[in-house]
Amino acid sequence: MVEGILFEQVEDSRQDWKVKHSISEILMVVMCGVSAGERSIYGIREFARLKEQWLRDVIGLKLPNGLPSYDTVRRVLGMLDPKQFQSVFIGWIEEELDIPVGSYVSLDGKTLRGSGLKEAGIDPLHLLHAYSHELGVVIGQMECSSEKTNEIPIAERLIQILKIKGVIITADALLCQKEIVKKIAKDNDYILALKGNHPLMEQEVKDFFLSPAPSTRSVHTTFDKGHGRIERRIYTLDTNIGWFEDKKEWKHLAAFGMVESIVTRKGKECREIRYFITSVTDVKQFAKGVRSHWAIENNLHWCLDVLFSDDACTVLDRNAAENLAIIRRIVYNRIKMLSKMDTLSMGKRACIYAFFDKCQKFSSKMFSNRYKVASSCFRFLYTVSRPAIALINIQRIICIHSLYIFYLKREQLPNAAAGF
């Protein structure tokens, strides 16, 4: 599915005789502004004003009635049904990407701090994300209230909507619930953290791992070194669940897991032990799932906050805030999908060495001083950024130029790209 068609599928509830700007054109303008780093509706409209000719010539927007005004953009974003927009987004992901069987999908919530105002009694927007580790993209999200307990029914609905099969779903202790396990175990496996929200069960698992190790217990150890510390992780998986009285209530429960993290820094040692329930029986598969769950924080939430100013977006209108969040995730996904590299580190090097000159010329042609990126910025990103973030930071500069793919329905960059 091409993204131009994606936006055409978004329902427009406006009266036809009052419409001067199509939904697809307005959303394309918003997407370009978000790609350029704008975090407010005013900033998006200002970007469009400065780059109107570029939007016409490169992106291919016809804009027969000129640019949509600030009020028009604000009204449209507040009018669109986020649930319908979200279903279109999920449908786009399903058609564009195949989630590999046996891959890991993480469920975790994120609060958009800037979308709330305590003095006015407006709670910030809270979103539950589904993130594919192998593909590095958001495959779905749904809005919750600011109360995290509402993640539980939302998670059940999100799992049902996603239609994923044969993957391993990871989640924190909040989503370690019998009903959620039933939804997951229908077509997938799971690795769920076990904490104090199930105090009796947690204590039973703790006591079980304190007992002598039976033949059903397997261990896998990993080491990490960096940032002045050495971390040793001991993953233990035990498939002996016959003693657990409630095992039938947890569908497809196959093992209990324990992870002991031992961090040594400046001669001091710190230990942490965590417990899990899981339907997988291979300790290395279990270890990879536990470790990869943190990628949703490091590779998604951190990127959204630092690169797309997710928390800094102060749009208070509930619908507009959620619709902007969806657009930011569409841009995030597209940047990830544009990368053809085998690894992020390879992608980063390619961006630096192959795209460096092009990006520099491109920025001087397309951007005003406000958006212009100097060569020193690229070198700075290369030296201090994480591989994942460096790749996104650099590719977002060429992403705007690539966004006309969405509207013109082309599969490759046209020859117009050769000019920058």
Per residue in 164-178, pLDDT (tens digit) is: 999 999 999 999 999
Could you tell me if 72 and 103 lie in one domain?
A: no
Kindly state whether residue 204 falls inside one of the protein's structural domains. yes
Kindly state whether residue 177 falls inside one of the protein's structural domains. no
Kindly state whether residue 251 falls inside one of the protein's structural domains. yes
* Greatest C-alpha distance within the chain: 76
Could you tell me if 225 and 142 lie in one domain?
A: no
Kindly state whether residue 208 falls inside one of the protein's structural domains. yes
Per DSSP, the three-state class of 252 is coil
- pLDDT for 17 equals 83
What does the alpha-carbon distance between residue 27 and residue 323 come to, in Å, rounded to a whole number? 10
Could you tell me if 223 and 360 lie in one domain?
A: no
In eight-state DSSP terms, residue 20 is -
DSSP lists the bridge partners of residue 109 as: 128
Could you tell me if 107 and 128 lie in one domain?
A: yes
Could you tell me if 297 and 158 lie in one domain?
A: yes
Number of Cβ atoms within 10 Å of the Cβ of 214: 10
Kindly state whether residue 152 falls inside one of the protein's structural domains. yes
Could you tell me if 226 and 270 lie in one domain?
A: yes
Residue 88 structural domain:
82-172+293-315+323-338
- pLDDT for 362 equals 41
Q: How many whole angstroms from its chain centre is CA 369?
A: 30
Could you tell me if 30 and 95 lie in one domain?
A: no
Nearest residue to 276 via CA among 212, 178, 201: 201
How many angstroms separate the Cα of 9 from the Cα of each of 3, 18, 318? 10, 20, 21
In eight-state DSSP terms, residue 293 is T
Weakly modelled stretches of the chain, pLDDT under 50:
1-2, 341-395, 397-398, 400-420
Residue 39 has which token pair? 């975090």
Range list of H helices, 51-110: 52-54, 70-79, 82-96
Could you tell me if 155 and 303 lie in one domain?
A: yes
- pLDDT for 308 equals 85
What does the alpha-carbon distance between residue 187 and residue 185 come to, in Å, rounded to a whole number? 5
What does the alpha-carbon distance between residue 210 and residue 188 come to, in Å, rounded to a whole number? 30
Residue 194 has which token pair? 């076990």
- Asked whether the beta carbons of 351 and 388 are under 8 A apart, the reply is no
- pLDDT for 66 equals 92
- Asked whether the beta carbons of 85 and 323 are under 8 A apart, the reply is yes
What does the alpha-carbon distance between residue 276 and residue 107 come to, in Å, rounded to a whole number? 15
Number of Cβ atoms within 10 Å of the Cβ of 178: 11
Strands 137-144 vs 168-171: parallel, antiparallel or unpaired:
unpaired
Could you tell me if 327 and 374 lie in one domain?
A: no
Could you tell me if 221 and 88 lie in one domain?
A: no
What does the alpha-carbon distance between residue 264 and residue 175 come to, in Å, rounded to a whole number? 31
Could you tell me if 159 and 297 lie in one domain?
A: yes
Q: What is the number of domains present in the chain?
A: 4
What does the alpha-carbon distance between residue 21 and residue 286 come to, in Å, rounded to a whole number? 51
Kindly state whether residue 328 falls inside one of the protein's structural domains. yes
Torsion, Cα of 389, 108, 138, 94 (10° steps): 160
Could you tell me if 124 and 200 lie in one domain?
A: no
- pLDDT for 305 equals 87
Per DSSP, the three-state class of 223 is strand
What does the alpha-carbon distance between residue 326 and residue 414 come to, in Å, rounded to a whole number? 27
Q: Which helix H or strand E contains 279, and what residues bound it?
A: none
Per DSSP, the three-state class of 271 is strand
Domain boundary among 32, 52, 80: 80
Q: How many secondary structure helices (H) and strands (E) does the chain include? A: 18, 9
pTM assigned to the model: 0.79
- pLDDT for 200 equals 94
What does the alpha-carbon distance between residue 299 and residue 387 come to, in Å, rounded to a whole number? 10
Range list of H helices, 138-263: 151-162, 178-185, 199-210
What does the alpha-carbon distance between residue 234 and residue 34 come to, in Å, rounded to a whole number? 42
Residue 237 has which token pair? 């998986």
How many angstroms separate the Cα of 122 from the Cα of each of 79, 113, 119? 19, 11, 8
Q: Which long-range contacts (CB under 8 A, 24 or more apart) does 414-418 make?
A: 416/58
Per DSSP, the three-state class of 407 is helix
- pLDDT for 351 equals 41
Kindly state whether residue 188 falls inside one of the protein's structural domains. no
Q: In what order do the strands lie in the sheet with 229-238?
A: 137-144, 125-132, 104-112, 168-171, 189-194, 268-278, 255-265, 229-238, 217-226
Domain boundary among 26, 46, 80: 80
Kindly state whether residue 183 falls inside one of the protein's structural domains. no
